[in-house]
Amino acid sequence: MKIKLLLILLTFSFISSHAQDYIFGKIITEDRAEMPDVTVINIRTEEQVLTNRDGHFMISGRQGDELRFIKAGYERVSRKITADNIHAPVNITLIRAAELIQEVEVKQGLTGNLRIDSKNLNKPKKVEKLTREIDAYMAKKSDPRILAPRPGEFVQPVTKGIFTIGKIKDKWDDIDLMNYLINALGEQFFTDLKLEKSQIQHFVLYVLKSGFERRNILKYGYCSDVDINRFKGAVLNKIVFYRSPQSTK
């Protein structure tokens, strides 16, 4: 009897120690402005959520977990969850990251040597080639006949879900995905990266064509929060190369 009682107590103790709670909180700026679209990550579970337009968030977790708060243009913040945080909101203030002063490029003047001057004044060939390819791709419109069914071909009815039967073509192309990402993130996300508005579409396609995995997104015409966060990571990796392309010999 004592052994059974001990086992029951140990079971309840184990369940209690591993119980999962929900952690609530709010994120503001130094000026006490509410911050939407801040990525909140539970390091233990790898769960990710975004704050709403009022800066509030809710994420599953328990005492001892570490939460990380990420927003482009702001310093990253980590917070260890205590027993008090389980019963009271977690309030976080993000501080804007110090901006590095851009290097001023001193262009070399004309030397009179045609070979040297053409090399100094012309863009790298790889950059010019990529720019031409992206411009041509953006100017090209999809032919509606491509998506039209062939005579006698079965066409799967469109439903709200993503489950399909038979051979189905991609619901989106890169232009559709580009427009969705810009609308979802907002132009402010890109202008905070020191991009001109006229460069935003060009830069998004540059990131997509630089190895961003998107086969399932284009196939189903659906972009999840996880995909958006992957795209944000790709943006932070590619922005330096986009601003300062390496010259080729």
The predicted pLDDT at position 107 comes to: 59
Angle at 142 between CA 140 and CA 143, to 5 degrees: 120
Q: Are 81 and 63 in contact (CB under 8 A)?
A: yes
Tell me how far apart the alpha carbons of residues 60 and 45 are, in angstroms, rounded to a whole number.
9
The predicted pLDDT at position 84 comes to: 82
Structure tokens at 213: 């995995």
The predicted pLDDT at position 104 comes to: 55
Nearest C-alpha neighbor of 44 from the set 63, 58, 27:
63
Whether residue 71 is predicted with pLDDT greater than 60 in this model: the reply is yes
- Count of Cβ atoms closer than 10 Å to residue 66 Cβ: 13
Of 8-12, 69-73, 98-102, which gets the smallest average pLDDT?
8-12
Query: What is the rounded average pLDDT of the residues 103-123?
Result: 61
Q: Render 94-158 in DSSP notation, one character per residue.
A: E-BPPPPPPPPP------S-HHHHHHHHSPPHHHHHHHHHHHHHHHPPPPHHHHSPPTT---PPP
- pLDDT single digits (tens) 225-237: 999 999 999 998 8
The predicted pLDDT at position 151 comes to: 56
39 contacts: CB under 8 Å, gap ≥ 6: 48, 49, 50, 69, 70, 71, 229, 232
The predicted pLDDT at position 249 comes to: 39
Q: Are 181 and 228 in contact (CB under 8 A)?
A: yes
Distances (CA, A) of 50 to 85, 132, 150, 204, 226: 19, 36, 43, 21, 10
Residue 149 burial (C-beta neighbours within 10 Å; 0-12, 13-18, 19+): exposed
208: enclosing H helix or E strand: helix 200-208
Distances (CA, A) of 46 to 108, 166, 220, 242: 49, 35, 25, 29
Q: Are 153 and 166 in contact (CB under 8 A)?
A: no
Tell me how far apart the alpha carbons of residues 35 and 56 are, in angstroms, rounded to a whole number.
8
CATH of domain 21-94: 2.60.40.1120
The predicted pLDDT at position 241 comes to: 84
The predicted pLDDT at position 94 comes to: 93
200 contacts: CB under 8 Å, gap ≥ 6: 182, 187, 190, 191
User: Band of the pLDDT at 109, cuts 50, 70, 90?
Assistant: low
Nearest C-alpha neighbor of 162 from the set 230, 221, 119:
221
Cα 55 to its chain centre, rounded Å, is: 18
- pLDDT single digits (tens) 161-181: 444 444 557 899 999 999 999
Whether residue 80 is predicted with pLDDT greater than 70 in this model: the reply is yes
Tell me how far apart the alpha carbons of residues 174 and 138 are, in angstroms, rounded to a whole number.
9
Domain residue ranges of the chain, discontinuous segments joined by + = 21-94, 115-140+165-243
26, β-bridge pairs: 56, 91
